[in-house]
């Protein structure tokens, strides 16, 4: 357990005393950590649903996607509506990606399920977590533009965490300048790129930097090309639901690995020892149903199938080897993560929040290289906080 900062303690106090809470703050300011601690502290006292806007971000906090919580009830499934009726508190992480339409849909579904149309989201306690300088909604305006949100805005206690726990002071200096203004952000990136070139280090033997780039198609073809190029047998690990049926759809349906594959852990297995989401490793063997991985900071570990994701109204768990190929990741997939070694590709950057999200994943300048230059017309943020 970490010792929370005073700012984090203030947030925790509001959450525990049942207030609608919004937690903002830069990447690495401990937003997700404080909600995880809130969950641990309060899970015996109330029904809390921990969710996030993307599957990966949900894995990082041991929760489910907000879609998987809401959509079965929206479709009218009675079990799903009963689940919502029992909820006291709902947490949504990476909420900068939530648009007005979704905010209002959630409102309607909770009101219907709880048969309470007079309160925001049917009277459930709402905890929204995210950084307006990171990824925005895929389409539409951010939820704060919603008329329903505006009606209830004064009920929210809004906190901004200011200390960066992920990145050291040198990197934080450049990252914070990217939040001041567009022109300052462009200047900061140029200087940061020079600095990364000066401080470039060689990685431990066998490790490669994770390429962080824009498009899924580029990431998949890069990872597959690298995997194909490795000699040796391919081992396939499938994803199962509780009860044993195979998951046949979705991004994590199956994982193909070989010895030598660059991987990233997508679950918190042993936080005290540093075996947590984003830990970088290399596959060094296979043992029974598990995978033997050498991690940067904790050495060789056996990784077995684990529950990474809690699904819809049936509380289905999804069990898989909590690893992902990590020669490359999209910015969308790595939102929320701390990444050990990164090569950030600026060439196809699109949309506000994209560049800041990518660059704020690492701990220090030495652990990062920057590829390409940013389009001078790139716009860092369209929101004010
Ligand atoms: N009070 C604390 N003491 C020590 N480490 C902390 C503390 N709070 C957070 N951290 C660590 O800092 C890192 C970043 O925290 P976290 O992922 O919660 O940040 P975040 O604000 O959610 O970032 P992002 O915007 O990227 O999702 C994690 O490794 C976390 O364990
Ligand atoms: Mg987070």
DSSP string spanning 154-188? GGEEEEEE---SSS-HHHHHHHHHTTT-HHHHHHH
Q: Is the pLDDT of residue 384 over 50?
A: no
Q: Is the pLDDT of residue 152 over 50?
A: yes
How does DSSP classify residue 245? P
Least confident of 91-105, 185-199, 251-265: 251-265
pLDDT given at position 142: 94
Which residue's alpha carbon is at the smallest distance from atom 3 of ligand 1?
2
What's the CA-to-centroid distance between 8 and ligand 1, angstroms? 10
Both tokens of 361, joined, read 């994943």
Give the mean pLDDT of the chain. Answer: 90
Mutate to test the pocket of ligand 1, among 28, 50, 132, 272 (most ligand atoms within 8 A of CB): 28
pLDDT given at position 267: 78
Provide the CB-side half-sphere exposure for 211 (13 A, CA): 19
What's the CA-to-centroid distance between 305 and ligand 2, angstroms? 24
Task: Between 55 and 378, name the one with better pLDDT.
Answer: 378
| Percentages of the chain per state (helix, strand, coil), in multiples of 5 | 35, 25, 40
Task: Between 161 and 269, name the one with better pLDDT.
Answer: 161
Give the nearest ligand 1 atom to 130 CA.
Answer: 25
Provide the CB-side half-sphere exposure for 226 (13 A, CA): 20
What is the C-alpha separation between 360 and 27, in angstroms, rounded? Answer: 6
List, as own/partner pairs, every contact residues 38-46 make where C-beta atoms lie below 8 angstroms and the sequence separation is at least 24, other chains included. 38/12, 38/91, 38/127, 39/91, 41/12, 41/16, 42/15, 42/16, 42/89, 46/88, 46/89
What's the CA-to-centroid distance between 155 and ligand 2, angstroms? 23
Is 262:327 a contact under the CB 8 Å cutoff? Answer: yes
Which residue's alpha carbon is at the smallest distance from atom 16 of ligand 1?
30
pLDDT given at position 385: 36
């Amino acid at each position: 357990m970490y010792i929370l900062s005073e700012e984090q303690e203030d947030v925790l106090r509001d959450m525990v005393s049942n207030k609608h809470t919004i937690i903002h703050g830069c990447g690495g300011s401990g937003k997700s950590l404080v909600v995880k601690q809130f969950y641990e502290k309060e899970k015996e006292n109330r029904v809390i649903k921990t969710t996030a806007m993307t599957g990966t971000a949900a894995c990082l906090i041991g929760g489910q996607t907000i879609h998987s919580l809401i959509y079965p009830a929206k479709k009218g499934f009675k079990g799903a509506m009963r689940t919502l009726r029992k909820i006291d508190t709902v947490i949504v992480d990476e909420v900068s990606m939530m648009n007005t339409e979704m905010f209002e849909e959630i409102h309607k579904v909770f009101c219907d399920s709880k048969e309470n149309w007079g309160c925001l989201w049917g009277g459930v306690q709402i905890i929204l977590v995210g950084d307006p300088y990171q990824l925005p909604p895929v389409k539409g305006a951010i939820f704060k533009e919603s008329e329903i949100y505006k009606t209830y805005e004064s009920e929210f206690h809004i906190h901004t965490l200011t200390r960066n726990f992920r990145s050291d002071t040198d990197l934080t200096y450049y990252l914070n300048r990217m939040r001041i203004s567009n022109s300052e952000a462009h200047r900061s990136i140029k200087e940061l790129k020079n600095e990364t070139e000066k401080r470039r280090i060689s990685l431990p033997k066998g490790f490669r930097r994770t390429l962080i780039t824009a498009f899924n198609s580029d990431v998949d073809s890069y990872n597959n090309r690298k995997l194909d190029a490795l000699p040796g047998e391919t081992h396939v690990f499938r994803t199962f639901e509780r009860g044993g049926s195979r998951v046949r759809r979705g991004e994590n349906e199956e994982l193909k690995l070989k010895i030598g594959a660059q991987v990233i852990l997508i679950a918190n297995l042993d936080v005290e020892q540093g075996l947590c989401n984003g830990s970088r490793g290399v596959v060094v063997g296979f043992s029974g149903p598990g995978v033997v991985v050498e991690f940067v900071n904790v050495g060789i570990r056996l990784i077995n199938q684990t529950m990474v994701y809690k699904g819809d109204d049936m509380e289905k768990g999804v069990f898989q080897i909590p690893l992902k190929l990590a020669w490359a990741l999209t910015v969308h997939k790595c939102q929320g993560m701390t990444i050990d070694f990164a090569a950030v590709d600026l060439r196809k950057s699109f949309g506000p929040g994209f560049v800041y999200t990518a660059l704020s994943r690492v701990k220090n300048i030495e652990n990062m290289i920057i590829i390409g230059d940013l389009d001078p017309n790139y716009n860092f943020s369209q929101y004010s906080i």
